[in-house]
């Protein structure tokens, strides 16, 4: 019997679990995927928005600004790559200038520091921006974050502080008997709990409907992106946005914490929540729009295209509330952009404003907010690195050539309380396979490492989802 | 810091051939740095035959070919490091590598030859449309799994791209009991050798769909379906030409790209081959840093890789002995009509010993053509070819005496005979 | 009448061979020789792998030391797939001797020391 079951281990669910782990509560997280952060968290712009865009007074505006401010501390505690680079929202035409003023006003209302820069100032900061730029809104608090390690490390920290994580458990029904919820999974496992927090991302609508009829809908809106290799460190240094439209913040060009560049996303309504396909016409449009802002984007450096679905709520705002009929079911729904930036604040908000109303929260004495620090070879001097390699030779052996990831770094992840069980999970934690060859060289090696660690034959190692075996058969198998 | 006269990065066929040649020219202070646990590079997984016809006048398999070279390296006692990955080359030629035994090692080199080979264009690079399931591999990755790991990636296979590795894998997977349903090639002609079309596809009745490409990949988890369609001259899909295959495997053989990362942050120009711009000595924009083999431009025969590696070794030894002057008359070499690229792009003619070779590829197949090499507006060489195709690199060797030293531009182009 | 693509040079001539083995479509004499051989007695060198008991490797690359008749390729594969060898192995070591009495050996193409 749990005090709280969190359904969904994306960045929101993981950060809620971590927050709950600081209290004397028995907490479980149930996730249908083979890893945390596999769906909405997997495919987004990896941006900590400053908060200039949300409508003043909305939950989005409030939590975005609060969340943004929390990132310095949380990235330190959770050892997550985070860089406060700032963003530039550019006006390319004179008729866009009033809109830029409007945004500046909105920023002030939201409490976001911004400055309107002249064309000259913009080009000094970012020489690759379209020379016709008229002005830009500079938001210095915007940042880049690694959403994968944020989520993995938040969950790891939660587990280190006593939370139980159950992966590959798909919730199919929820029943209430007396004061107790029974969360029923496809595996036939049943988890009993006093309180449920619905953080099921794009599927939070379906989870919520298991207990009551709901008045909102979530529309899956697909965003398609390009990733460019880290061929150079000077394409852009800030996140470059166009002016926002009704469809969203538009197609951005941004560096990432991994040194690559992200271009996208599109924003199309799709029919299926599972649809993460890409198509040429949409990507061509992304390319055209991005090139208008930054004409010199070298699309021959594209190493991957991907798409993700965002749960766009019919209410146009985050839906964080008690169920109508029962305040022991708390829903976090419609967490689309700026969800990642807001996620630490969402966790605080859910626990402080909702969980606290139904459970008594007592601090744990031995709560440790710090995740085990990862070695950061890139930031070490040759002497430091050599000292380390002497103790642990596996830090000298490179597995991923493109991203220079060592065997030691991969083996360290297996020791975590949320160890990677799939190729994609290793990729998210270490960047092995994220580079230009996309695992062409290292994927066989990584497959072998996973097989060895979990004592599996090679053809039982998954790429990502159920049944997505990396290799399917043995050569010369008699069968 | 360790000092070495010549550091060779990559111990595949190019690196080994360069090392051996440099040794034969008298250079003794050499170090080969190799990332794998063996010398030989990609040939280790190329278990098919067809290597060495020029070099050894016999048909060898990849492992046999590479073993001949690695034995020679051993025999000459040329030092090498295995399991060692180069992290960086600095402007002043400090090569930093890492391995588990020595840790991070910095080597100050007088000359460097980069011979790190190439990597395969993958689903990301070609922006393949549709879902992102498992079961999509580059042909070389599947080759490693099948030949070296002993795992058959799947049993119902479609192949995109008619590059030689894809064709070789069509045969290989068929021999191991998989069903290969077809090969689609975007262009109206094959990217692979005729011999491979015949012996890897026709022998096993595997259809080749020319002017076709993948329109959609389907499968939310593992690959389930691949739909191909025909394209017109502008590479747009022609409606009503869709063919869907139920498959668990899609292999991509859609080209190779030079693995030129280590040059990315150096002031070295990259040419249209996606490798470095080089002069006649295979020397990049930084004096004393050379490149050869597939990291310079992708070759179709390892025999030619070896030949080019020797040119780079000659250049490196010339450089080490102060014989590369970079003085006198200089040419810029440009591809003209019908030519995709030419290597080298720069020629210091006075540094050429006696012969100079131009390597190039045509953009499309030609029959009955003349290849022209022109200095300024004067033709200095004309060669007739009954047939010439993009998948086969052409090499033209020219005597130094043919060059007039009048103009500064050399162009290579083809003209079809009517 | 049979049609085939010549593989002797990149030109890839389209060869037509009639019932009396007269070759047309070739632009050089080598094409005719190839077409006759291919139609009367097509052979292929087989390259594949065989299981190996070794500390380092799971499969050993092998080849037929002479071309095999084309129609014997799958039979040869079946036999090779049932075979296993033990390290150490040297290039040229015979894995299957005189396969099907065809005077062709299946030989190792890689050294595996242990």
pLDDT digit string (tens) for B287-319? 999 999 999 999 989 999 999 999 999 999 999
| Both structure tokens of C77 | 């594969």
Shared domain for C57 and C8, answered yes or no, is no
Residue B387 pLDDT level (bands cut at 50, 70, 90): confident
Which residue of chain C has the CA closest to B392? Answer: C10
Which residues of chain B have a CB within 8 Å of the CB of A398? 35, 85, 87, 98
pLDDT value at position A267? 87
Shared domain for B278 and B383, answered yes or no, is no
CA-nearest of A185, A221, A173, A181 to A330 is: A181
> Distance of alpha carbon B175 from its chain centroid, rounded?
27
Do the Cβ atoms of A438 and B221 come within 8 Å?
A: no
**Is C113 domain-assigned?**
no
| Both structure tokens of B290 | 């050379």
Q: Which one of B324, B340, B361 terminates a domain? A: B324
Helices marked H in A131-175 — which ranges? 147-160
pLDDT value at position A136? 97
Give the containing element (helix H, strand E) for B373.
strand B366-375
Shared domain for C88 and C102, answered yes or no, is yes
Which residue of chain B has the CA closest to A392? Answer: B100
Q: Which one of B254, B283, B310 terminates a domain? A: B254
Q: How far is CA B182 from CA A8, B82, B253, B416, in A?
A: 41, 39, 13, 33
CA-based angle A12:A14:A17, to the nearest 5? 110
pLDDT value at position A192? 98
E strands present in B294-352: 330-335, 339-343, 346-348
A413-448 tens-digit pLDDT = 999 999 999 999 999 999 999 998 898 889 999 999
C84 interfacial to chain A (CB closer than 8 Å) = no
Omega into C88 within 30° of 0, i.e. cis? yes
Rounded to the nearest angstrom, the minimum Cα separation between A74 and chain B is: 31
Residue A92 pLDDT level (bands cut at 50, 70, 90): very high
Rounded to the nearest angstrom, the minimum Cα separation between C91 and chain B is: 7
Shared domain for C61 and C21, answered yes or no, is no
Residue A65 pLDDT level (bands cut at 50, 70, 90): very high
| Both structure tokens of B382 | 């004309």
| Both structure tokens of B91 | 């402007």
| Interface chains of chain C (3 or more CB pairs under 8 Å) | A, B
Of C47, C51, C70, the CB nearest to B49: C47
pLDDT value at position A275? 83
User: What is the tally of helices (H) and strands (E) in chain C?
Assistant: 2, 10
Residue A97, Cβ density class (10 Å: 0-12 exposed, 13-18 middle, ≥19 buried): middle
Which residue of chain B has the CA closest to A300? Answer: B125
The pTM of the whole model exceeds 0.90 = yes
Which residues, listed in sequence order, are joined to residue B160 by a DSSP beta bridge?
B184, B252
Other beta carbons within 10 angstroms of residue B342's beta carbon come to 25
Shared domain for C56 and C88, answered yes or no, is yes
Question: How many Å apart are CA C39 and CA B19, to the nearest integer?
Answer: 45
Shared domain for B67 and B111, answered yes or no, is yes
Q: How far is CA B344 from CA B91, B333, B376, in A?
A: 22, 7, 17
Omega into A39 within 30° of 0, i.e. cis? no
Other beta carbons within 10 angstroms of residue B404's beta carbon come to 12
Q: What is the mean pLDDT of residues B336-347?
A: 97
CATH value at residue C88: 3.10.530.10
Q: Is the pLDDT of residue A479 over 60?
A: no
**Is C114 domain-assigned?**
no
Shared domain for C64 and C30, answered yes or no, is no
Which residues of chain C have a CB within 8 Å of the CB of B60? 109
B197 interfacial to chain C (CB closer than 8 Å) = yes
Which residues of chain B have a CB within 8 Å of the CB of A39? none
Do the Cβ atoms of C109 and B64 come within 8 Å?
A: yes
Residue in C54, C61, C112 to test binding to B, most B beta-carbons within 10 Å: C61
E strands present in A229-301: 239-241, 252-255, 261-264, 268-269
Structural domain total, chain C: 2
Shared domain for B80 and B169, answered yes or no, is no
Contact B292, B14 (CB under 8 A): yes
Residue A162 pLDDT level (bands cut at 50, 70, 90): very high
Shared domain for B110 and B166, answered yes or no, is no
Shared domain for C52 and C103, answered yes or no, is yes
Which residues, 6+ apart, have CB-to-CB distance to A247 below 8 Å? A267
- Domain hosting B73: range is 1-120+255-324
Shared domain for B28 and B52, answered yes or no, is yes
Do the Cβ atoms of A397 and B248 come within 8 Å?
A: no
The residue whose two tokens read 């794009």 is A202
Shared domain for C56 and C29, answered yes or no, is no
Of A390, A404, A465, the CB nearest to B103: A390
CATH value at residue B209: 3.50.50.60
Shared domain for B361 and B270, answered yes or no, is no
Rounded to the nearest angstrom, the minimum Cα separation between C80 and chain A is: 9
**Which stretches in chain C have pLDDT values below 50?**
none
**Chain A contacts in chain C segment 25-54 (CB below 8 A):** 49, 51
Question: How many Å apart are CA A142 and CA A159, to the nearest integer?
Answer: 30
- Mean pLDDT for chain A? 95
Residue A49: active-site member: yes
The DSSP result for A47-106, as a single string, is: EE--SSSSPTTSHHHHHHHHHHHHHHHHHHHTT--EE---EEEEE-SGGGHHHHHHHHHH
Q: What percent of chain B has pLDDT over 70?
A: 100
Q: What percent of chain B has pLDDT over 90?
A: 89
Shared domain for B231 and B347, answered yes or no, is no
Q: How far is CA B244 from CA B49, B217, B233, in A?
A: 33, 10, 22
Q: Is the pLDDT of residue A307 over 60?
A: yes
- Mean pLDDT for chain B? 95
Shared domain for C48 and C98, answered yes or no, is yes
pLDDT value at position C7? 83
Residue B344 pLDDT level (bands cut at 50, 70, 90): very high
Residue in C15, C30, C49, C69 to test binding to B, most B beta-carbons within 10 Å: C49
Q: How far is CA B216 from CA A226, A277, B123, in A?
A: 18, 9, 12
Sheet arrangement for strand B212-218: B212-218, B225-230, B243-246
C81 interfacial to chain A (CB closer than 8 Å) = yes
Question: How many Å apart are CA B34 and CA B18, to the nearest integer?
Answer: 14
Shared domain for C55 and C34, answered yes or no, is no
Contact A426, A444 (CB under 8 A): no
Q: What percent of chain A has pLDDT over 90?
A: 88
Question: How many Å apart are CA B277 and CA A41, to the nearest integer?
Answer: 41
B233-259 tens-digit pLDDT = 999 999 999 999 999 999 999 999 999
Which residues, listed in sequence order, are joined to residue C16 by a DSSP beta bridge?
C3, C24
- Domain hosting C34: range is 2-40
Contact A429, A413 (CB under 8 A): yes
The residue whose two tokens read 């005077």 is C103
Omega into B243 within 30° of 0, i.e. cis? no
Question: How many Å apart are CA B10 and CA B33, to the nearest integer?
Answer: 6
Which domains occur in chain A, in start order? Answer: 83-144+220-310 (3.30.9.10), 377-460 (1.10.10)
Shared domain for B281 and B362, answered yes or no, is no
Rounded to the nearest angstrom, the minimum Cα separation between A353 and chain B is: 38
Residue A126 pLDDT level (bands cut at 50, 70, 90): very high
Sheet arrangement for strand B339-343: B339-343, B355-362, B394-399
pLDDT value at position A476? 83
Shared domain for B272 and B304, answered yes or no, is yes
**Region class of A109: left (phi > 0), else alpha (psi between -120 and 50), else beta:** alpha
| Both structure tokens of A263 | 């271009």
Shared domain for C55 and C73, answered yes or no, is yes
**Is C53 domain-assigned?**
yes
Shared domain for B243 and B309, answered yes or no, is no
CATH value at residue B392: 2.60.40
Shared domain for B377 and B405, answered yes or no, is yes
Question: How many Å apart are CA A138 and CA A239, to the nearest integer?
Answer: 10
Q: Which one of B286, B301, B324 terminates a domain? A: B324
Query: Which of the two residues, B372 and A479, has the higher pLDDT score?
Result: B372
A230-280 tens-digit pLDDT = 887 789 999 999 998 776 778 999 999 999 999 999 988 888 888 888 888
Structural domain total, chain B: 3
pLDDT value at position B315? 97
Shared domain for B96 and B23, answered yes or no, is yes
Q: Which sign, positive or negative, has the C-alpha torsion A102, A106, A111, A114?
A: negative
Residue B327, Cβ density class (10 Å: 0-12 exposed, 13-18 middle, ≥19 buried): exposed
């Amino acid at each position: 019997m749990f005090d709280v079951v969190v359904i969904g281990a994306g960045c929101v669910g993981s950060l809620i679990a971590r927050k709950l782990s600081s209290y004397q509560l028995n907490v479980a997280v149930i996730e249908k995927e083979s890893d945390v952060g596999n769906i909405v968290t997997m495919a987004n712009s990896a941006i900590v928005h400053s908060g200039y865009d949300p409508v003043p007074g909305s939950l989005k505006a409030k939590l975005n600004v609060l969340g943004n401010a929390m990132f310095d501390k949380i990235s330190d505690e959770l050892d997550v790559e985070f860089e406060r680079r700032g963003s530039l929202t550019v006006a390319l035409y004179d008729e866009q200038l009033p809109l830029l003023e409007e945004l500046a006003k909105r920023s002030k209302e939201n409490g976001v520091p911004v400055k309107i820069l002249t064309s000259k100032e913009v080009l000094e900061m970012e020489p690759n921006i379209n020379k016709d730029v008229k002005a830009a809104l500079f938001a210095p608090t915007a940042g880049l974050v690694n959403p994968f390690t944020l989520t993995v490390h938040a969950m790891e920290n939660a587990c280190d502080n006593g939370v139980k994580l159950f992966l590959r458990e798909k919730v199919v029904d929820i029943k209430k008997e007396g004061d107790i919820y029974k969360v029923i999974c496809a595996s036939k496992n049943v988890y009993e709990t006093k309180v449920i927090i619905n953080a099921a991302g794009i599927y939070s609508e379906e989870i919520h409907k298991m207990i009551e009829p709901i008045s909102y809908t979530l529309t899956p809106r697909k965003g398609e992106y390009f990733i460019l290799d880290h061929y150079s460190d000077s394409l852009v240094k800030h996140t470059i946005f166009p002016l926002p439209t009704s469809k969203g913040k538009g197609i951005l060009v941004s560096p990432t914490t991994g040194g690559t560049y992200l271009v996208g996303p599109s924003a199309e309504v799709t029919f299926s929540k599972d649809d993460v396909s890409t198509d040429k016409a949409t990507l061509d449009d992304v390319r055209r729009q991005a090139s208008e802002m930054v004409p010199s984007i070298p699309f021959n450096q594209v190493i991957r295209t991907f798409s993700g679905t965002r749960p766009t709520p019919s209410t146009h705002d985050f839906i964080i509330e008690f169920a109508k009929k029962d305040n022991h079911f708390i829903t976090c729904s419609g967490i689309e952009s700026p969800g990642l930036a807001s996620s630490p604040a969402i966790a605080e908000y859910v626990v402080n404003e909702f969980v606290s109303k139904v459970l008594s929260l007592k601090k744990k004495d031995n709560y440790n907010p710090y995740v085990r620090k990862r070695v950061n070879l890139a930031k070490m001097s040759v002497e430091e690195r050599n000292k380390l390699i002497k103790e642990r030779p596996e830090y000298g052996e490179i597995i991923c050539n493109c991203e220079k990831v060592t065997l030691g770094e991969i083996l360290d992840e297996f020791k975590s309380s949320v160890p990677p069980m799939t190729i994609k999970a290793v990729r998210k934690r270490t960047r092995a396979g994220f580079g230009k060859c996309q695992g062409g060289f290292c994927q066989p090696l990584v497959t072998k490492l996973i097989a060895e660690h979990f004592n599996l034959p090679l053809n039982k190692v998954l790429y990502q989802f159920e049944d997505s075996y990396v290799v399917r058969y043995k050569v010369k198998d008699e069968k | 810091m360790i000092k070495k006269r010549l550091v060779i990065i990559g111990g595949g066929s190019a690196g080994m051939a360069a090392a051996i040649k440099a040794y034969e020219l008298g250079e003794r202070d050499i170090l080969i740095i190799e990332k794998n646990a063996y010398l030989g590079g990609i040939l280790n997984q190329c278990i098919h035959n067809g290597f060495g016809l020029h070099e050894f006048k016999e048909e060898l398999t990849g492992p046999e070919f590479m073993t001949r070279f690695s034995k020679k390296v051993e025999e000459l006692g040329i030092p090498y490091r295995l399991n060692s990955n180069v992290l960086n080359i600095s402007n002043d030629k400090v090569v930093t590598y890492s391995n588990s035994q020595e840790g991070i090692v910095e080597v100050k080199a007088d000359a460097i030859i980069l011979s790190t080979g190439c990597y395969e264009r993958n689903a990301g690079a070609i922006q393949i449309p549709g879902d992102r399931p498992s079961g999509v591999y580059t042909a070389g990755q599947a080759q490693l799994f099948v030949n070296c790991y002993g795992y058959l990636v799947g049993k119902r296979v479609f192949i995109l791209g008619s590059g030689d590795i894809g064709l070789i894998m069509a045969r290989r997977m068929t021999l191991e009991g998989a069903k290969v349903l077809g090969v689609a090639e975007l262009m109206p002609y094959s990217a692979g050798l005729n011999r491979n079309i015949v012996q890897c596809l026709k022998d096993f009745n595997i259809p080749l769909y020319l002017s076709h490409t993948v329109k959609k990949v389907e499968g939310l988890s593992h690959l389930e379906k691949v739909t191909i369609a025909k394209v017109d001259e502008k590479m747009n899909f022609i409606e009503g030409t869709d063919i869907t295959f139920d498959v668990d495997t899609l292999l991509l053989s859609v080209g190779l790209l030079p693995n030129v990362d280590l040059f990315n942050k150096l002031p070295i120009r990259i040419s249209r081959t996606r490798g470095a711009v080089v002069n006649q000595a295979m020397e990049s924009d930084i004096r004393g840093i050379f490149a050869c083999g597939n990291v310079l431009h992708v070759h179709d025969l390892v025999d030619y890789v070896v030949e080019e590696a020797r040119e780079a070794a000659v250049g490196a030894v010339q450089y080490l002995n102060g014989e590369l002057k970079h003085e006198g008359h200089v040419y810029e070499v440009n591809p003209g009509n019908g030519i995709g690229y030419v290597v080298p792009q720069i020629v210091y003619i006075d540094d050429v010993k006696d012969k100079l070779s131009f390597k190039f590829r045509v953009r499309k197949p030609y029959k009955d053509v003349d290849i022209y090499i022109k200095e300024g507006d004067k033709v200095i060489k004309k060669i007739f070819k009954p047939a010439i195709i993009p998948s086969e690199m052409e090499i033209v060797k020219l005597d130094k005496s043919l060059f007039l030293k009048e103009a500064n531009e050399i162009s290579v182009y083809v003209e079809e005979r009517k | 009448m049979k049609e085939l693509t010549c593989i002797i040079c990149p030109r890839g001539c389209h060869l037509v061979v009639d019932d009396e083995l007269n070759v047309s479509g070739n632009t050089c004499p080598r094409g005719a020789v190839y077409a006759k051989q291919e139609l009367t007695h097509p052979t292929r060198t087989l390259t594949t792998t065989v299981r190996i008991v070794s500390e380092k490797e799971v499969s050993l690359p092998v080849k037929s030391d002479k071309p095999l008749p084309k129609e014997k390729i799958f039979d040869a594969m079946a036999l090779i797939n049932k075979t296993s060898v033990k390290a150490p192995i040297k290039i040229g070591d015979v894995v299957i001797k005189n396969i099907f009495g065809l005077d062709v050996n299946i030989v190792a193409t890689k050294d595996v020391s242990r």
